[in-house]
Amino acid sequence: MKILFKSIRALVIIILVITVVALIALCIAEGNVAKEIKPDQQYDAIIVLGAQVKADGEPSVQLQWRLDAAKSAWDRHPVPIVVCGAQGKDEPAPEGVVMKDYLVKAGIPEDSILVDPDSFNTRQNLENAKKLLGKYEGVSSVLVVTSDYHVPRSLALARDQGFQATGLGSPCKQEYWIKNHGRELLAWAKYLGMKYLHLPLE
């Protein structure tokens, strides 16, 4: 029993160390995320990843921050913009549809916005965005707009789709910092397990 207890304790310690190291790496990567667009930065399209829509049909604060960042990027360099996100069980409409309405009200022409109302996760976001952008010739470099903690993994998935991807990070609400970063650590583990170990985690 003593040997078993020591083995379990050692395993728990290893898991904790790996988790801490992974969290530090995530925070370092997040710290390198651009918070604004450089005047000379170029991109062929903008992809905005969805977040929670409130019960009244309005974007949540974090989604508004993503959309405002995307509008700023579009103002600097008007290109096709893809808004991604399906309808969650507690949402009155697909995130992509709500996002389009918000951006149209903000002044972006409706015909410049492509809507993906079907994707439930980041990988699907990028896959569907690529299909939608297929109607344009020469789209290779994209600007991915999402919350700052989410940018590094989003760029990895965008590059898996063959995009030359850069990211623009909007703020994360401080009261959700632990929740968001904890979920992102699990999402990284899933991504790496699927990509490199070919684990059936979907």
Residue 172 to residue 130: CA distance in whole angstroms: 26
pLDDT at 30: 55
Q: In the chain, what are the domain boundaries? A: 1-32, 36-174
pLDDT of amino acid 40? 77
CATH 3.40.50.620 fits 36-174, yes or no: yes
Q: What is the pLDDT of residue 35?
A: 74
Q: DSSP labels for the chain?
A: -HHHHHHHHHHHHHHHHHHHHHHHHHHHHHHTS-SS--TT---SEEEEE--PBPTTSPBPHHHHHHHHHHHHHHHHS---EEEE----TT-SS-HHHHHHHHHHHTT--GGGEEEE----SHHHHHHHHHHHHTTSTT--EEEEEEEGGGHHHHHHHHHHTT-EEEEEEEP--GGGHHHHHHHHHHHHHHHHHHHHS-----
pLDDT score recorded for residue 102: 98
Q: What is the pLDDT along the chain (202 residues), one digit of tens a residue?
A: 677 677 777 766 766 666 665 566 555 655 556 677 777 789 999 999 999 999 999 999 999 999 999 999 999 999 999 999 999 999 999 999 999 999 999 999 999 999 999 999 999 999 999 999 999 988 999 999 999 999 999 999 999 999 999 999 998 887 888 888 888 888 888 888 788 777 676 6
Enumerate the β-bridge partners of residue 83: 48, 115
Residue 25 pLDDT: 58
- Burial code of 115-148, b = ≥16 C-beta within 10 A, e = fewer? bbbebeebbbbbbbbbebbeeeeebeebbbbbbb
pLDDT at residue number 33: 65
Q: What is the pLDDT of residue 167?
A: 93
CB 48 within 8 A of CB 101: no
Task: Tokens 């996100």: give the residue.
Answer: 85
